[in-house]
Structure 1
Amino acid sequence: MSPVDPTDARIAELEGEVAELKKLVAALLAENASLRAEVAELRGRLGQNSTNSSKPPSSDPPGTQRPSKPASGRRPGGQPGHKHHKRELVPAEQVHRTVDIAAPRQCDQCEQGLAGRAVEPLRHQTVEVEPIKPHVTEYRCHGKQCGGCGAVSYGELPVEVAGHTFGERLTGIIVLLSGQYRLSKRKVQDALSDLLGVRICLGSISNREAEVAKALEVPVAQVGDAIREAERAHADETGWFEGKVNGRAKRAWLWVVVTAHLALFRISPSRGSEVAKALLGEDFTGFLTTDRWSAYNWYDTFLRQLCWSHLTRDFQSFIDRGGEGGRLGALLMKERDRMFKGWRRVRDGTMPREEFELRMPKVERRVGRLLRDAVVCAEDKTAGTAAEILKLESAMWTFVHVEGLEPTNNFGERTIRHAVMYRKTSFGTQSPEGSRFVERILTVVTTLRLQKRNVLEYLTAAVGAHRRGLPVPSLLPVAEPSQLAVAA
C-alpha cells in the first residue's frame, strides 16, 4: 500500500470543517432571520395605537401622533348660520310661581321719567327642586279569627303590591342608575339615600334588576324581530367578561345591532358568526355596515358595507411598517382622502350624487390596483392584510350606489361606546342573569334615546304592567300620523 499523502489528509480534514462551518452559518442565518422577523413583529405590536389598529384612543401612550386635519381657517365654536341650542322657557301653564317686577320710573339711558306705554315684560326663569321625600304607603291587611278552627284570615294585598317593597317608579330609578348611569350597586345605594332619602340593601338592588330583566324580555325580543326586517343596520362587538374561571374573569363578547330607531345588545361567550346570524337572522336582506371581522363574512358581500375608518387604520399600518408596503399605503391614503372629500360634498349637498357616482369608479380601480400590488410586492404582514381586504373588495364601495348608506360604521361604534364604558367601570357581569339585565337595559335605554322617548316613564310603565300581569309596553317606534296617511 502506498502511504497516505499528509497533504490530502489535511485537505479532507479542512473540507470537513468547511462543511460543518457552512451548516453552522446556514443555521445562524436562519436563526437570525427568525429573530429579525420576531423583532419586527414585536416592534409592530409596540407601535400599535388607535391610528393603525383597533386599539381605542384611550390606550394611546403620551405623545402619540394622530393624523392632523387641514386647518379650516375658522375660529373655534359655533359658526355663522349654525342652529342655536339653548334652554327654552317653560310654558306659562307649567310655571309654579310668578314674581312681577315693576318697571323703573326713569329711563336707563337719559334718566328722563318714564310715562310711555307698557311693553311685554322680559321673562327670566329659575328652576329649583323641592326637598325630595319618599312617599310611603302602608297597607294594613285586617283579619278575623275563625270561631270554628281558630285560624286567622287576613285581607289580600293588591297584586301590584304583593311581594314588592319598592314602587314602580322607584324600581325604574334604581335600574336607570345602574344601567344608564353606570353606577355600582354601592353607588346606587348611596345615591338613593342622598337624593331621595331611601335606604335600600345591596341585595334588593340585585332583585330589582332581576325583576326588570324579566319584565323587558318580551319587548326586547320584539326589537330583535323588527331589526331582522330592517332595510339597513350597523353591527359591532366588543370584549366583555362574564363570571370567573380559576379565579380569573371569563372572556365574553358584547354585540350590538342598531338601526335608525332600534338597538339590540347581546352578551355571548362567542365572537363567532353564529351570534351575528342569531342577531340578524339568516334571512336578513338589508344593507349591513361592519368592520372586517370574519364573523360577518357569511353575509352577502354586495349587501355589506365595510367601515372606511377601519380601512384607514389598515392603510396607516402599511405606512408605519415602511418598505414597499409603506409607499403603497401612502398612495392608498390619497385615494381614501379623495373618496371622503367627494362623499362629504354629497352629504353637505354641494355635489350631486350622480356626479359622485361618476367619479368613484376611477378611485375604485386605483385602490384595487394598489391593493393587488401590495399582495405581490409588500412585506408579508402587509401583503396578508391586503389580500384579506381584497376578498371583500366589493363591500368597500356599496355606499357609492346606495343612497343614505354611509362609508363608516361610526354610528355602530358610537352606540356601543356606552357599553364599553360600562365594562371599564363594572368589569363585566358575574353571571348569565346579570348579563341578561345588562343587555336588556342597554337595549331599552339606547332604543328609547334613538326615538327621543322618556326612559324613566317607560321603565315605570313596564314594571307596573309586569306586576299586574299585563302586556309590557312596546319599544317599537310609533309612526307619526303623517306617515300613516302616506302609507294609507
Structure 2
Amino acid sequence: MTEAEATGLYLSGLKPTMIVLLEQDKLISRQQAKINDLERQFALAKRHPSTPSGMQAAFTKANRASASKRKKKKGKRRGIHRPPPSKIDETKEHVLDRCPDCCNPLPPASETRQRFTEELPVVKPRVIKHVIYRYWCRVCRKIVESPVTDALPKSAIGLRTVVYSAWLHYILGVSFDKIIQLLNLSAHFKISTGGLFGAWHNLARILQPLYDQVGRGAKWSAVLHADETSWRVNGCTHWLWCFTNKHLAYYVIDRCRGSPVALRVLGKYFAGVLVTDFLAAYGLIRALAKQKCLVHLLREIIRVNLFDSSPQWKDFRNQLKRLVLDGLRLGRQRVELNPACFERRKALLRQRLVELYVKPCSNENAGRLRKRLERHRNEIFTFLDFPEVTADNNHAERQIRPAVVSRKTSYGNRSKQGADTQAMLLSIFRTLELRGYNPVNTLLFLAQEHLRTGKPMTLPPTLACTPTVEQPRIETAAV
C-alpha cells in the first residue's frame, strides 16, 4: 500500500478502514503461520532421519508424551541369583567375643552361616629380569641368543600390556588419558602417553603381514560390504573406509573419498557381490553383482517427505515404497515359496521397477530418484538372486561403529603414522572378533610365536561357533 492509498483509506471513514485492517491482519496471520511451518520443515530437513538420537541436541527433541493408559503390571517371575562359585581361593572366619550392641561377653558360637563374595585381586606390575645367554655358532660364525617373547624388541613395556591397552583404545574407544589412569589405578603401572604411542606403533609394525592378509581376504570375498565415514588427521578431513563381511573387517584411512581408494583395495574387477550405499565411488568397480542398500532408499523417502508434500511426489513415493517393501517381503518368503513362484514374483518386481523409472514425472525429487533407480536398475533386487546377500548395508555400518565411538573421544589422529596404526590394529582386532576369537589373547599368542620363531604371522580361520571363545589362558586383568 502506497502513501496515497493509505491517505485515501483514512479519509474514507472509520468503517472501511476497519474492514481493510482486519483483512490485512488475517493475511499476515496466515503468512506467519506458513513461515513458521516452512522454518520447521527446513530444520527437520537439515536433520537426516538416520541421525542417531545421541547426535541430536537435547533441546531439539520433543518431550515424551505421557502414557494414556496405565502400564500393565508385569507378571511374577522367578528370581535369578549368582550361583555359588565352584572354586574357593580363600576362607575368612568372622568371630565375635563381645556383643556389638551391649558389649557383654559372648559364649561359644551356636551356629554358622556362609556367604560368598568374588573380588578382583590387587594387581601390581611384575618386573621381570631377562638373563639372555649368548652363544657362538661355529657353523653360522656369529653370536646367537634365545629370543625374548614377553616384549617387543627394544621395549621395556610388556607385550601383554601393549596389546591390552591397544584393544581398550581402538575397539572400546577409551581415550589415552583414561587408559593411563586405568593402568595406574588398577595395576599401579605408570606409563607416559608417548611411551604408549610408541609401543602401539611398534606393535603395528610387526602386524603388517596380518593386515595385508585381511586386505587380500577382502579382495577375494564372495560377499563384501563397504562403507565410509569422515575422519580427521592433523586437523584435515579424511575418510575411514570399511570393507567387511562375516569373517573379516578391513579399514583404510585416506584423504580421498572417491573411487581411487575402492579401486586400490578391490581392483577394477571384483569377483564377488559388493553391497554398498549409493555413493558414486563404487561405480567404476566391475563386480559379479552389486546390491544397493534399500534402507538408504527408504531414508531418502522419509527425508523428502519433510519438505515436499506435492501430489506428484506422493504418488511416486507410494509406488516406490510399495515396491521396496514387496521386495523385502519376497526375500523373507524365499524358503516358503516354491522356486517357480519365487522366480515369477521376482520377475514381476523387476518389471514394476522398470515401469516406475521410465514413467515421466514433473516433480524434482521424484525425477532425481527416478534417475537413481534407472542408473542402478540391476543393483536393487540382487539380494533375491543370492541368498547370502542382504538388502541393506547394516553389517558395514555396525563394523564401522567402533571407529565412530573412538572418534568421539580422540577426534581422529595427529599424523599419518597414527592413522595407519589405527586402521591396522582396528582391522586385526575386529577380524579376530568376527572369527570368534578372544582378540587380546589370540593376538598376544600370535605375536609371541612370531618373536619366538621369526616366521610370518597368519590369522586363524573362522571358528565353527561365532561367539567369542577363550584362547590359551592369559590373564588380562593383570594388564
Superposition TM-score, scaled by structure 1 size: 0.69
Letter in 2 for 1:361: A
Paired residue for 1:251? 237
Deviation per residue, 1:263-315 (Å, 9 max, x gap): 10000000111101112222321011000100111133760001011111122
3-state SS in 2 of match to 1:284: strand
1:261 lines up with 2:261 in the alignment = no
- 1:55-454 paired onto structure 2 within 5 Å: 55-60=51-56, 62-63=60-61, 95-97=87-89, 127-139=118-130, 159-160=148-149, 163-243=154-234, 249-300=235-286, 303-320=289-306, 321-323=308-310, 324-346=312-334, 349-351=335-337, 355-373=341-359, 376-454=360-438
Q: Is the 8 A contact 1:192 1:199 kept in 2?
A: yes
3-state SS in 2 of match to 1:165: coil
Q: CA deviation at 1:211?
A: 1.0
Mark the CA change 1:301 to 1:42 in structure 2 (over 3 Å): closer, same or farther.
Answer: farther
Q: CA deviation at 1:203?
A: 1.0
Partner Cα distance (1:87, 1:431) in 2 = 50
Partner Cα distance (1:42, 1:368) in 2 = 36
Partner Cα distance (2:446, 2:132) in 1 = 27
Mark the CA change 1:462 to 1:472 in structure 2 (over 3 Å): closer, same or farther.
Answer: farther
Q: CA deviation at 1:234?
A: 0.6
Bigger drift between 212-221 and 173-182 goes to 173-182
* Aligned-residue identity in percent: 25
Partner Cα distance (1:135, 1:90) in 2 = 31
3-state SS in 1 of match to 2:284: coil
3-state SS in 2 of match to 1:394: coil
Partner Cα distance (1:417, 1:256) in 2 = 10
Partner Cα distance (1:279, 1:87) in 2 = 50
Partner Cα distance (1:414, 1:171) in 2 = 26
Q: CA deviation at 1:333?
A: 1.4
Deviation per residue, 1:54-86 (Å, 9 max, x gap): 645544464479xxxxxxxxx999xxxxxxxx9
Letter in 1 for 2:247: H
Partner Cα distance (1:128, 1:194) in 2 = 16
Partner Cα distance (1:311, 1:475) in 2 = 37
Q: Is the 8 A contact 2:289 2:379 kept in 1?
A: yes
Mark the CA change 1:58 to 1:474 in structure 2 (over 3 Å): closer, same or farther.
Answer: same
Q: Is the 8 A contact 1:171 1:460 kept in 2?
A: no
Paired residue for 1:47? 45
Deviation per residue, 1:150-184 (Å, 9 max, x gap): xxxxx999555662211111111121121122122
Deviation per residue, 1:337-395 (Å, 9 max, x gap): 2222332344xx5545654433233333333323333xx32432441232123101110
Letter in 2 for 1:49: R
Partner Cα distance (1:316, 1:58) in 2 = 20
Letter in 1 for 2:309: G
3-state SS in 2 of match to 1:477: coil
Superposition TM-score, scaled by structure 2 size: 0.70
Partner Cα distance (2:300, 2:460) in 1 = 38
Bigger drift between 315-324 and 274-283 goes to 315-324
Mark the CA change 1:377 to 1:50 in structure 2 (over 3 Å): closer, same or farther.
Answer: same
Unaligned runs of 5+ in 2: 1-36, 64-71, 75-79, 92-114, 134-143, 465-479
Mark the CA change 1:195 to 1:224 in structure 2 (over 3 Å): closer, same or farther.
Answer: same
Letter in 1 for 2:269: D
Partner Cα distance (1:397, 1:226) in 2 = 26
Partner Cα distance (1:45, 1:371) in 2 = 30
Letter in 2 for 1:278: R
Partner Cα distance (1:40, 1:282) in 2 = 46
Letter in 1 for 2:154: G
Partner Cα distance (1:356, 1:428) in 2 = 47
Q: How many residue pairs are counted as aligned between the two chains?
A: 378
Mark the CA change 1:301 to 1:417 in structure 2 (over 3 Å): closer, same or farther.
Answer: same
Partner Cα distance (1:378, 1:42) in 2 = 25
3-state SS in 1 of match to 2:238: strand
Partner Cα distance (1:88, 1:372) in 2 = 64
Q: CA deviation at 1:462?
A: 4.0
Q: Is the 8 A contact 1:231 1:285 kept in 2?
A: yes
